[in-house]
Structure 1
Amino acid sequence: MNGRAAAPAAGTVLNALANGYGSAFAIDAYTEATVELDASGPVTGKVAGAPDADTRLVERCVEMVVDRFGDGEGGHVRTESDVPMASGLKSSSAAANATVLATLDALDALEAIDREDACRLGVEAARDAGVTVTGAFDDASASMLGGVTVTDNAEDELLRRDEPDWDVLVYTPEERSFSADADVSRCERVAPTADVVRDLALDGDYERAMGVNGFAFCAALGFPSEPVVEAMPDCAASLSGTGPSYTAVGDRAALEELEGTWSEREGHTWLTTTQQTGATTR
């Protein structure tokens, strides 16, 4: 009873910590999960290249899928990723989505649940595991469905989805920032600005939404806003998640020029694209 799936990372349009509404877009970088189930017993997990990593999320994903569609199976889940953990690029959501799909694949139950509800299983597991403050339905939906999504995270409701064909520049510093440790009270202080970002995103004006979100959450979370300013006016950029990564979208030539500026900082800068199809079995 084996299954395997991959889910893309994502960048932020609107951080949901301020007002409960979020927006994110899938990018062409992946986390892959391999699930091996047996007759009974505990579920164990492993993250490739990170023997001390917290595996509660992916283990809980397997348990929840088995509880709903299985017959008490135990087993093992292993993830490996192109996406650095705790970097603001939705590595947890990608891991959860890949694990949920891989477990459904192992149980031959992929047709028993639609993609949105499969995504909600991973969100519920993330809440149970304590790795998210908001539930991260925005991040999870973008990773599971592909494209860009706008969500009400309080209701786990998908409000809008589009498939923009963007080139994307990503800058990831060496530091790490866990979303569960974010200062929620400071983020809530920028809720009036986040409401503006929500309205822009619901109107499909994602680029302007990213810029406003970037300034608001750099200030709230204590990250420099210079990368957002450097992207303007030819690109739109934002802090991704609770940092420390930044993402920018725009014309390829403009992003290549911006890459020269961002790459002067310590860390890793790379060009990619949006991803439209979301998570898939392998």
Structure 2
Amino acid sequence: MRAYGGISIVNAIPCWLGSSAAVDLKIKVSIEETRERDPSESRLVKEILDFFEKRWNIPHVKVKVESDVPSRSGLKSSSAVSVALIHELYSKFSIENYLSPPKLSAILSIKAGVSYTGALDDAAASYYGGISFTDNKYLKILKMSNPPKDVVVMILPRGDRPNVDLNKLKQFSSSFAGIFELAKRSIFDAMRINGTLIAEILGYDKTPINEAIKRGAIAAGISGNGPSYFALSKEGEEGPIYDSLKKFGEPILTRFVELEGDNQTI
């Protein structure tokens, strides 16, 4: 199963309302039956496999992950692995009429202790493509929509995110609720405000963001809880912005992913 990395439109931690956009950084997950489980499984993979083994008595499986996305980067790799693995397990063992992969991913992510909100916004965009709007507290996908066309996404990847003080973000719940409402009208404005505010609250260097905006970026900021940066431009106008980011590392050029219709229903 293929899923996608993504970038944040609205961080869900402060007020549980979140929005994410899928980008064309692929994560592929495959499974095969095995006699013994891999002892190096991540906490989330272990939680998912434990759940399936207990609920449906499936045999042990070995999980193989191929990813274009660095872990702990703010680019939704955990959600992508989770939804892809759940989809593979449903398919291989003919499990039907249960929760959609994004919703089950959110539940098990919280149970595994790898996400405070469950990251339903990230999981939905990763699985379905497009742009998600979710209420993570009540496990509701409020809306899925296609992204704007003719937009270039530039990502300055950073891995191994430092520990984040979530209480700092929770203090700004009303501000992020307002950003979520703004996102319904303009994802670019929301991304710009969200991305800059996350950098300010969590203490990330805002120089790459400011430089990208000065060079004409439609939006720029920190994705997720960091540490990766992103910037957006209109098609054909990415050159100066890309050059500004290149001062700080090797940017990735990619695109938004449109909604895909071949996955399970929301």
What TM-score, normalized to structure 2? 0.89
- Which of 158, 161, 164 does residue 177 from structure 1 map onto? 161
Specify the code of the residue in structure 2 equivalent to 1:188.
K
Cα shift at 1:56: 2.1
Is 1:168 the counterpart of 2:164? The answer is no
Amino acid at match of 2:185: G
The aligned counterpart of 1:186 is: 168
Q: 1:62 to 1:256 in 2, by over 3 A?
A: farther
Whole-angstrom CA distance in 1 between matches of 2:112 and 2:67:
20
Corresponding residue number in structure 2 for 1:230: 211
1:230-259 C-alpha deviation (Å, 9 max, x unpaired): 333541122100111112223022223201
Which amino acid in 2 is paired with 1:60?
Answer: E
1:12 counterpart (8, 12, 33):
8
Unaligned runs of 5+ in 1: 47-53
Distance 1:261 1:125 in 2: 39
Partners of 1:193 and 1:216 within 8 A in 2: no
1:206 aligned to 187, 195, 200, which one?
187
Query: Which of the residues 259, 272, 280 maps onto 2:242?
Result: 259
- Secondary structure class of the residue paired with 2:238: helix
Gaps of 5+ in 2: none
**Pair 66,163 (structure 1): closer, same or farther in 2 beyond 3 Å:** farther
Is the Cα–Cα contact under 8 Å of residues 217 and 232 in structure 2 kept in the other structure?
no
Alignment match, 2:17 = 21
Query: Counterparts of 1:211 and 1:277 in 2: how far apart (Å)?
Result: 23
Query: Which residue in 2 is equivalent to 1:125?
Result: 108
TM-score (norm 1): 0.84
Q: Distance in 2 between matches of 1:135 and 1:75?
A: 24
- Give 1 or 2: higher strand fraction: 1
Identity within the alignment, %: 27
Residues 62 and 95 (structure 1), Cα distance of their counterparts in 2 relative to 1, 3 Å cut: same
SS at match of 1:86: coil
CA displacement at 1:268 relative to structure 2 = 2.7
Aligned partners of 1:205 and 1:113: how far apart in 2?
Answer: 35
- Residue 44 (structure 1) aligned with residue 44 (structure 2): no
CA distance 1:126–1:216, change in 2 (3 Å): same
The answer as to whether partners of 2:19 and 2:122 remain within 8 angstroms in 1 is yes
SS in 2 for 1:253: coil
After superposition, the C-alpha distances for 1:78-125 in whole angstroms (9 at most, x for unaligned) are: 21211001111011001101111111121133xx247x7221111222
Give me the whole-angstrom Cα distance separating, in 1, the residues matched to 2:182 and 2:250. Answer: 30
1:57 pairs with 41, 44, 66, which one?
A: 44
Aligned position for 2:253? 271
How big is the alpha-carbon RMSD for the aligned residues of Structure 1 and Structure 2? 2.3
